[in-house]
Amino acid sequence: MPARRIIPCLDVKDGRVVKGVQFRDHRDAGDIVEQAMRYRDEGADELVFYDITASAEGRALDLDWIRRIARVIDIPFAVAGGIRTRDQGAACLEAGADKLSINSPAIERPELIEELARDFGSQCVVLGVDSFEAGGDYFVKQYTGSPDAMRDSGRRTLDWVCEATARGAGEIVLNCMRNDGVRTGYDIPHTRAVIEAVAVPVIASGGAGSPDHFRAAFEAGASGALAATVFHDRLIAIPALKEELASCGIEMRR
């Protein structure tokens, strides 16, 4: 497997970076461009920017902040939120994004995955999955950026990731909602189940609180590990994290 990736996640609302706990009670975490530059300098492998209310509000991403970010960083970054059409995806890529992450719009219209993969390549298409446990199984929620709009999609997580990758999604970001923002560790059994179900890279998300949590995700087979709170609040430094993981025999980009 290629070197594992450390991926800070930046939730965006009204052009600012915010952070919540289990998708609620968001607080301001700084200017979007300043945060992008900070993570570039600290050695992040990639960045993900989620406009958390775009899908629920039925609007497209703000291309201005994508352009501003693309001008100042030289590491890959994905954008997410409200990408509902092929042309909206094209506009984001033309503004400087490297990947398109789609979640609720893909649940609404799964053919969107095929359209994006056909025109831009599967490597550009990331499926975001907000997964919650119920009755001993896992299911997908949508519109998670807005507590008032959040709802069950009616889709079982493993069924959805298999369908989405068959349609052309080239990567899965699995966000385990129960663990989001609480720093108790990734949901390793669920992450491993998704890894075993699909043939594309899987990014673990939701719950990172210590270097051991990242190691557990990588040992389970995750291609990357996404986190927000521990990086935004400087509880874990990315260079030190990479050194510790490398000392455990996990290949990291230096």
Residue 188: CB partners within 8 Å, gap ≥ 6?
216, 217, 220
Measuring CA to CA, which residue among 167, 170, 164, 171 is closest to residue 114? 167
Contact present, 39 and 238 (Cβ < 8 Å): yes
Distance CA 103, CA 113 (A): 10
Q: Which of 232, 212, 210 is nearest to 220 (CA)?
A: 212
Instruction: Name residues whose C-beta falls within 8 Å of residue 95's C-beta, 6 or more positions apart in sequence.
Output: 63, 66, 67, 70
- Decide if 130 is catalytic: yes
Report the chain's terminal Cα–Cα distance, integer Å. Answer: 16
Q: Which of 45, 130, 180, 187 is catalytic?
A: 130
Among candidate residues 11, 45, 180, 187, the one labeled active-site is 11
Q: Are 85 and 112 in contact (CB under 8 A)?
A: yes
Distance, CA of 146 to CA of 160 (rounded, Å): 22
Give the integer Cα–Cα distance in Å for 197 and 26.
33
The contacts of residue 15 (CB under 8 Å, 6+ apart) are 32, 62, 65
Q: How far apart are CA 209 and CA 55, in angstroms?
A: 28
Task: Give the catalytic positions in this structure.
Answer: 11, 130
